[in-house]
Amino acid sequence: MPIEAPFKRMSTADDPTLAQEFVAFAVHAGVLRFGEFKTKAGRLSPYFFNAGGFDDGAKLGRLAEFYARRILASGLPFDMLFGPAYKGIPLAAALAVELARRGRNPPFAFNRKEAKDHGEGGTLVGAPVAGRVLIVDDVISAGTSVRESVALIQAAGGRPCAVALALDRQERATEDGRDAAWSAVQFVTRQLQLDVVAIATLQDLLQYLHAAADPALSAFAGPVQAYRERYGV
């Protein structure tokens, strides 16, 4: 698929300590694990990031702090938050709470996978979708979730302005079963013309592993670097 439009802003460096703090937190929480994992694309990856592991109040609250710090440091303008079903729902809700705690109180909304045919009906829940809408998700694998969110937001009268992620894998997407020349994040920034802010990237993970004092962690620096060289963008 040709991607002609230029990159928009992709911010990961506004807060110089944030990425390393986040990677350390994700490792400690067991959300970022190392070994051998088969990805949806069929690749054997030496690391695995599962945002579903932020599964208690303390971890989810800490995660929301990282999102808030990254988003506020980036200076990204937005009017409300949108959480794509399903993982984006608790992320958007927790982020809204954390932003309110920091003096900014954005409304938020999310979608159902299936339309409700009683009560208020429809697929959208929460605040009316309007203005500049920031989509909150964990990672982007193929951009499908973002495309669906964009369509929902636009149909409701809002304007998608950006996507906030926990981790940018900096990894080539797949298209028709083959490796593409672009990553899912590049697709979002170029084709969908949306800004992307990520708390951390695969390069930040590599930096963490290279500096790790624990030999059990530093041992994975080589395999992750090799994976980056083979599938990275």
All domains of the chain in start order, with CATH = 10-231 (3.40.50.2020)
Q: What integer pLDDT is reported at residue 116 of this predicted model? A: 57
Catalytic residue flag (residue 118): yes
Q: What integer pLDDT is reported at residue 117 of this predicted model? A: 54
Buried b (16+ CB within 10 A) or exposed e, 82-107: bbbbebbbbbbbbbbbbbeeeeeebb
Catalytic residue selected from 28, 38, 59, 116: 116
Q: What integer pLDDT is reported at residue 7 of this predicted model? A: 38
Contacts of 202-211 with C-beta under 8 Å, sequence gap 24+, read 202/167, 202/168, 202/169, 202/170, 202/171, 202/228, 202/232, 203/170, 203/228, 204/12, 204/19, 204/20, 204/22, 204/23, 205/23, 205/32, 205/47, 205/167, 207/19, 207/20, 208/20, 208/23, 208/24, 208/27
Catalytic residue flag (residue 28): no
Q: What is the mean pLDDT of each run of 10 residues along the chain (233 residues)?
A: 41 74 97 94 93 96 98 96 95 98 97 66 89 96 87 97 96 84 92 95 97 96 97 91
- The mean predicted confidence, pLDDT, of the chain is 90
Catalytic residue selected from 28, 38, 87, 118: 118
Q: What integer pLDDT is reported at residue 113 of this predicted model? A: 80
